[in-house]
Amino acid sequence: MIDRVFKTRSTPKESRQLAKDVVEFLAGFIADGDALHDMDIMLTEACANVVRHAYDGDSGELEVRVRVSPGESVELEVVDWGCGFDEEVRFENPGPESEGGRGMFIISMLSDSCEVRKLRGENILFIHKDIGRPQWKS
Amino acid sequence: MEKLTLERKDAVLYAKLKGEVTLDITNDLKRSINEELGSGVEKLIMDLSGVDFMDSSGIGLLVSVNTRMRSGGKAFFLYSPSPQVEKTLSLVQLLSFFEILSDEDELKAAMV
């Protein structure tokens, strides 16, 4: 298992860059472009949630903890120290005319499991993604 | 804005997006497109062939433009979404919600 932590401020630009940095790190292990694109989308959505909701329109700390189990899976924890998720987090797809609210749904569709956790002041979005052996670098 | 090229032909606006469409630029894109739409555009064609990454804020932008055009009785088409965009649109079940032009013949017909 390989663990790595990435940190930044939760501005739109820096959070997108953070997602890219994590994907670049994962590309050291994963060969499959589609799998990397899925990771990119999930990370970008999760980080964008922090930008939009965590610090009441302000920016704050944003951290991504990555755990790579080569040949098996990737786990992500997207962490902020802001106001936290609503009690009921929605993973549903909103109606077609809704302009927002699709981020969590996209993450739930692309991951094998995901959940929100609150731990010692940390708001954590946990994402687990199984990645088949042929998709890894040999 | 380098990510957005606008071409106007009478009442048709052809907008080509390029690169990544994510939260850090969607507000600017929306502003630029809305400014142009204010001046008698009856049909908007958005070329997504060069977009290699789109997140849910990009999808929100498409939905917002679509709502504005349709509520004014005007036409809105997506042209040739890249495989990455198509995948994201299909994930949120919006592929059939938008009118999509898939090849140059359909584009030419729609430009008239």
pLDDT at A14: 96
pLDDT at B1: 55
- Choose, out of A8, A41, A110, the residue to mutate when testing the contact with B (most B CBs < 10 Å): A41
Classify each residue of B46-81 as buried b or exposed e, where b means 16 or more C-beta atoms within 10 Å of its C-beta. Answer: bbbeebebbbbbbbbbbbbbbebbeeeeeebbbbbb
Task: Tell me how crowded residue A68 is: count the other CB atoms within 10 A of its CB.
Answer: 20
Nearest chain B CA: its distance from A93 CA (Å): 7
| pLDDT per position as a tens digit, A52-110 | 999 998 999 999 999 999 999 999 999 999 988 776 777 899 999 999 999 999 999 99
pTM check: above 0.90: yes
Does B112 reside within a domain? no
| pLDDT per position as a tens digit, A11-54 | 999 999 999 999 999 999 999 999 999 999 999 999 999 999 99
- The boundaries of the domain holding residue B65 are 4-107
Does B20 reside within a domain? yes
| Phi/psi of residue B43, nearest 5 degrees | -145, 130
Helix residue ranges per DSSP H, chain B? 23-37, 56-71, 83-91, 104-111
Nearest chain B CA: its distance from A133 CA (Å): 23
Residues of B in contact with A100 (CB under 8 A): 56-57, 60
Nearest chain B CA: its distance from A123 CA (Å): 21
Question: Which residues does B83 contact at the CB level (< 8 Å), separation at least 6?
Answer: none
Structural domains of chain B, count = 1
Distance CA B86, CA A1 (A): 34
Contact A123, A75 (CB under 8 A): no
For chain B, say whether A41 makes contact (Cβ under 8 Å): yes
Domains of chain A: 2-135 (3.30.565.10)
For chain A, say whether B36 makes contact (Cβ under 8 Å): no
Contact A46, A75 (CB under 8 A): no
CATH number, domain containing residue B66: 3.30.750.24
Q: Name residues of chain B where pLDDT drops below 70.
A: 1-2
Token look-up 């090849």 returns: B103
Among A4, A18, A21, CA closest to A74: A4
Q: Is B20 in Cβ contact with A52 (below 8 Å)?
A: no
**Is the predicted ipTM greater than 0.85, yes or no?**
yes
